[in-house]
Amino acid sequence: MSLSPNDSGARAQAPQASPWSGGQPVRLERVRKAYPAARPVFGGLDLEVQAGEVVALLGASGCGKSTLVRLVAGLERPDAGVVRVGHRAVSGPLDRVGLMFQEPRLLPWLDAWANVAFGLSDGVRGTADGDRRVRELLSAVGLPEAGSLLPHQLSGGMAQRVALARALARAPEVLLLDEPFGAVDALTRAGLQNLLLEVARRARTTVLLVTHDVEEALRIAARLVVLGGRPARVTLDAVVPGSAPRLPDRPGLGQVRRLALAALAPDLDTEPSPPLHGIAPGV
Amino acid sequence: MSAGATDAAGSAVGWRTGEGRLPSLRWAEPWLLPSLLLALWVLTTSVLKWFGPSQLPSPAQVLVTLRELVVSRELEPHLAASVGRIVVGFTAGAVVGTGLATLVGLSGTAARLLDPTLQALRAIPSLAWVPFLLLWLGIGELPKLVLVAIGAFFPVYVNGAAGIRNVDRRLLEVGRLHGLGGARLARRIVLPAAAPALLTGLRLGLGQAWLFLVAAELIAASRGLGFLLIDGQNSARADLMVVSIALLALLGKLADQAVRGVERRLLSWSDGFRA
C-alpha cells in the first residue's frame, strides 16, 4: 500500500473530466458581518473572484478569512450585502460549492470510502458511477487502499487527504479551502497542491484558498488577496506572474512576495536585517 | 557494536518477553469475589449451620428447589411473564425515550417545554407510581407494562438527550454543508454521533426496567419472578426467595451482556470503545 504520493503519481491519477462542469464566479457585494460584542469583521467588503480563478486569501489570524469562506459556503449569512455564486445569491449551502475545513472533520463512524461517498450527490451515491468516482478520488489523493480504514486509524495527513477527496466528490464549481494543508507534511502538501491545481484546471473550478503561508500562495495561486484591519478590507490584491505550480525562486515572485509580506506585517521591515550583534543570550 | 553489548540486549529482550514468568491469571479475577461469596454461603449454611433452612437455605437446597420448579414446569409461566413484560415494556419505553430525546436534543423550544417536567417526573420513585397505575389502568397486564416502560424511559431519555445535545457542532456543519437538514440530518449525523450516549441510555434503561418490573410484580401480580419472591415470603419458603432473586440477577446480567454485545458491534468505529 503506497500512502505517500509523489507529485507525478498524484497527477497521473487525477479523476477523469466527464462529470465536471465549469467554475462559477464568486462575488461579495458590500458585505457586512459582525458578531455580538465584537468589532465588526466586515463593514462593506467587496471582492470578486473570476470563474476558474485560483485565489489565495491571506491575512493575520482573526482578520476574517475563515468568516469570508463560511459566508461563501452558506454556513453563515451576512448582516447586509450579498454573496453571489454565479448569479445566485447565497442563502444557505449550495450543492456545487465544496468546502474543506482546517481539520478533516471526517464522520468517525464511516470508513474512508463512505466518508468520500458522503460528499457525492444523493442521486450518485451507491451507483456504479458513484463507486467509480470514490475509487478515482481515493487514488487521486494517494490512498487507493485505505477505503476500509476508519478515521481514527488514519494519520492526520491521511485524514486530510480523505477530506480533500470528499470535498471534490460532487465536482464543485467553487472549491473553498480553509488552511487545508497546515497539518500535512511538506512532501504530501506539494502533492496535494498539485492535485488541487490539476483538478481546478481540468474543470475550471474556482478556488478560494485561505492560507497563512505566503509561499503556499506564491506556489499555486494566480492571484493573491490580503485582508487586514478591523473591519477587514483588502490591503493587497496582486496577480502572481507565471503559471502554477511555481518554484519559490522563480523570477518575478520576489516583488509579489515583498508586497505580500509588507501587507501582512506593515510594521516589520521586510528588507533583510543585518545580523543582530551584541545581544547577550537569554536576554 | 561490541559482542558484550549484543549479549546484554539479547538477554534484555528475553526478559521482556516474559520467559519463565507465571501465566497471566487476569481472566480469573472477575470470578474471585463470587467464588469467595459462594464458599462463605456453603460454609455458613451446610458446614457451620449458622443459618437454618428457613432463614438461608444452602446452595444445594436452592438447586434442588430450582430443579423441582423446572421439572414440574412451575417456573415456566413465571419466567415467561417476567421476560415478556421486560420485552414489551422496555421496547415501549426505549422507543418513546429515544423519540423525545431526539426532539429535546435538537429543538431548544422542545427542550424548554418538556425537559423541566420530565426531569421532575424522573424523581418519582418506582413504587410511588404503582397505586396510581392500578387506579387508572386496573389490575391487568397494562399497569405492569406501563411501569416497566416508565423505568426504561428515563435513563434512555436523559442520556439520549444529553448525547444529542452534545453532538459535535462541527460534524453538524459537515451535514448542513452537504445539504442535510431536519430528519435527514438527524438520521445521518445526529443519531450516529449520539449513538454512544444512546446505547449507554438503553443499557441503563434495561437495568432500571428490571427494577421497576420487580416493583410491579411484588405488589400486584399472580405470575412473574417478583410474585415468586413474594409467594416465597408468604409461604415462609426462603429457598423460593433465593431462587427468584438469583434468577432475577442472572436474567438482568444476561440482558446487560446482550446490550453490551450490540454496543460493541455498533460502536466499533469509536476510538474510545475497545472490545
Task: Provide the pLDDT for residue B219.
Answer: 79
Q: Least CA distance to A118: which residue of chain B?
A: B178
Of A273, A5, A12, the C-alpha closest to A142 is A5
Model-wide pTM > 0.80? no
Tell me the pLDDT band of A280, cut-offs 50, 70 and 90.
Answer: low
| CB within 8 Å of A142: residues ≥ 6 apart | A2, A3, A4, A5, A9, A10, A13, A161, A188, A191
Which of A99, A107, A110, A69 shows the shortest CA–CA distance to A168?
A99
* Positive or negative: CA dihedral A134, A136, A139, A140: negative
Work out the angle at residue B33's Cα, subtended by the Cα atoms of residues B29 and B34, and round it to the nearest 5 degrees: 110
Higher-scoring residue by pLDDT: A118, B138? A118
> What mean pLDDT value characterizes chain A?
83
What pLDDT shows up at residue A184? Answer: 80
CA B179 to chain A, closest CA, distance in angstroms equals 6
What ipTM did this prediction achieve?
A: 0.81
Which residue type occupies B10? G
Task: Test A73 with B177 for CB contact under 8 angstroms.
Answer: yes
Measured CA to CA, the distance from residue B161 to residue B101 in angstroms comes to 4
Task: Give the number of other Cβ atoms within 10 Å of residue B164's Cβ.
Answer: 22
Side-chain half-sphere CA neighbours of B73 within 13 A: 0
The verdict on a CB contact (< 8 Å) between A93 and B170 is no
Confidence of residue A283 (pLDDT cuts 50, 70, 90): very low
Give the model's pLDDT for residue A195: 86
Among A117-126, A273-282, B92-101, the range scoring the smallest mean pLDDT is A273-282
Residue A37 has a pLDDT of: 80
Pairing of strands A26-33, A174-178: unpaired
Cα–Cα distance measured from residue B261 to residue A14, given in angstroms and rounded to the nearest whole number = 42
pLDDT at B125 > cutoff 80: yes
Query: Over 60: is that where the pLDDT of B19 sits?
Result: no
Q: Nearest 5°: CA angle at B157, between B154 and B163?
A: 135
Closest listed residue to residue A91, CA positions, set A77, A104, A103, A79: A77
Q: pLDDT confidence of A277, banded at 50, 70, 90?
A: low
pLDDT value at residue A16:
43
| Nearest in space to A74 (alpha carbons), one of A97, A54, A52, A55 | A97
Residues of B within 8 A of A119 (CB-CB) are 178
Phi-psi region of B234 (alpha: psi -120 to 50; beta: other; left: phi over 0): alpha
Q: What residues contact A83, with CB distance under 8 A and at least 6 apart?
A: A26, A27, A28, A29, A31, A71, A72, A89, A90
Residue A10 — pLDDT band, cuts 50, 70, 90? very low
A243: cell is: 503559471
Q: Are strands A206-210 and A54-59 parallel, antiparallel or unpaired?
A: parallel
Contacts of B271 in chain A (CB under 8 A): 108, 152
Q: Would you state the pLDDT for residue A258? A: 85
User: Over pLDDT 90: what percentage of chain B?
Assistant: 62
- Checking if the pLDDT of A15 tops 80, the result is no
Name residues whose C-beta falls within 8 Å of residue B33's C-beta, 6 or more positions apart in sequence: none
The maximal CA–CA distance of chain B, rounded, in angstroms, is 89
pLDDT of A269 reads 56
For residue A109, the chain B residues in CB contact (below 8 A) are 192-193, 195, 269-270
**Residue with cell string 545580523:** A275
- For A152, which of B171, B176, B271 is closest by C-beta distance? B271
Q: A176: nearest CA in chain B?
A: B177
Place of cell 472490545: B275
User: How far is the first Cα of chain B from the last one, in angstroms, to the nearest whole number?
Assistant: 43
**Predicted local confidence at residue B153, as pLDDT:** 96
Average pLDDT over residues B123-146: 88
Q: What is the mean pLDDT of residues B149-162?
A: 95
- Of residues B164 and A12, more confidence is placed in B164
Q: How far apart are CA A97 and CA A84, in angstroms?
A: 11
Distance CA A111, CA A275 (A): 52
Phi and psi angles of residue A100, each rounded to the nearest 5 degrees, phi first: -115, 125
Q: Do B176 and A103 touch (CB under 8 A)?
A: no
Q: Could you tell me if A104 and A151 are in contact, meaning their C-beta atoms sit under 8 angstroms apart? A: yes
Q: Is A180 left (phi over 0), alpha (psi -120 to 50) or beta?
A: alpha
pLDDT band at B132 (very low <50, low <70, confident <90, very high): confident
Chain A residues touching B173 at Cβ < 8 A: 75, 105
β-strands A42-49, A26-33 pairing: antiparallel
Residues of B with Cβ-Cβ distance to A176 under 8 angstroms:
none
pLDDT confidence bin for A275, thresholds 50/70/90: low
| Residue A61: pLDDT band with limits 50, 70, 90 | confident
The pLDDT, as a whole number, for residue B273 is 56
Which pLDDT score is estimated for A273? 53
Nearest CA in chain B to A116: B178
pLDDT at A17: 40
The 10s digit of each residue's pLDDT in B168-226 is 999 999 999 998 988 889 889 999 999 999 999 999 999 999 999 998 888 778 899 99
pLDDT value of position B198 = 93
> Does position A136 have pLDDT exceeding 60, yes or no?
yes
For B70-103, the pLDDT digits (tens) are: 999 999 999 999 999 999 999 999 999 999 998 8
pLDDT digits (tens, 9 = 90+) for A92-115: 899 889 999 989 999 999 999 999
> Which of A143-147, A184-188, B210-214 bottoms out in mean pLDDT, i.e. has the lowest?
A184-188
Whole-angstrom distance, CA of residue A5 vs CA of residue B20:
47
How far apart (Å, rounded) are the C-alpha atoms in residues A104 and B60?
A: 61
Contact A49, A26 (CB under 8 A): yes
Of the partner residues A92, A105, A110, the one whose CB lies closest to the CB of residue B170: A105
